[in-house]
Chains A and B, each alone.
Chain A
Amino acid sequence: MENANERKEILDGLIEVLRTVRTIDPARLEGVTEETDFLTDMNTPSTELINIAAKVEQKFDIEFEDEDIDRMGSKVKDVIDLIIMVKERGANN
Chain B
Amino acid sequence: MIVAGRKVAVVGMGGAFPTCKDLDDFDKKLFAGESMIREWPKTLQYPKQIRSTVAGYITEPEMNLEAIHPVPETEWPETYVDHLGRIPDMNLSTADLGCVWAMLGAQESIAMAGWTKEETESEQTGVVIASGGGGNVVSRHAWHAFYELGKKTRMAGSHTVDRAMSYREAANVSCLIKNKGVCESIISACATGLGNIGYAYRLIRFGLQDRAICGGVEGTALETFIGFDAMQVLSKGFAPAESSRPFDINRNGFVCSFGAGIVALEEYEMAKARGANILAVIDEYFNNSDGDGNMFYPSYDGQRRLWKGLMAGGNVKPDVVKVHGTATPVGDILELVSVAESIGESGYHITAPKSQFGHMLGAAGSVEFITALLMLKNQKVLPNKNSDTLNTELENFQKKPDWNGPTKPASEYRHLISQDIVDKEINQIVCLNYGFGGTNSAMAISRDI
- B158: chain A residues at CB < 8 Å are 47-48, 50-51
CB distance from B329 to the nearest CB of A (A): 47
B89–A23 touching, CB < 8 Å: yes
- A54: chain B residues at CB < 8 Å are 152, 154-155, 157
- B81: chain A residues at CB < 8 Å are 22
Q: State A54–B157 Cα separation when bound (angstroms).
A: 8
CB distance from A43 to the nearest CB of B (A): 10
B3 interface hit (Cβ, 8 Å): no
Within 8 A of A (CB), among B353-390: none
* Chain B residues with a Cβ closer than 8 Å to the other chain, count: 14
Pick the contact of A23: B70, B90, B152, B155 (CB < 8 A): B90
- A63: chain B residues at CB < 8 Å are 152
CB distance from B171 to the nearest CB of A (A): 14
B159 interface hit (Cβ, 8 Å): yes
Q: With A53-B154, A55-B70, A63-B152 as given contacts, are A22 and B159 in contact (CB-CB < 8 Å)?
A: no
- A23: chain B residues at CB < 8 Å are 89-90, 93
Q: Which residue of B lies closest to A46 (CB)?
A: B158
A45–B70 touching, CB < 8 Å: no
Q: State A55–B89 Cα separation when bound (angstroms).
A: 18
A33 interface hit (Cβ, 8 Å): no
Q: State A86–B79 Cα separation when bound (angstroms).
A: 28
Which residues in A have some Cβ–Cβ distance to B below 8 Å? Answer: 20, 22-23, 45, 47-48, 50-51, 53-55, 58, 63, 66, 69
Instruction: Report 25 cross-chain contacts, Cβ distance below 8 Å, ordered by A residue.
Output: A20-B68, A22-B68, A22-B79, A22-B81, A22-B89, A22-B92, A22-B93, A23-B90, A45-B90, A45-B93, A47-B158, A48-B93, A48-B158, A50-B154, A50-B158, A51-B154, A51-B158, A53-B154, A54-B154, A54-B155, A55-B70, A58-B70, A63-B152, A66-B152, A69-B154
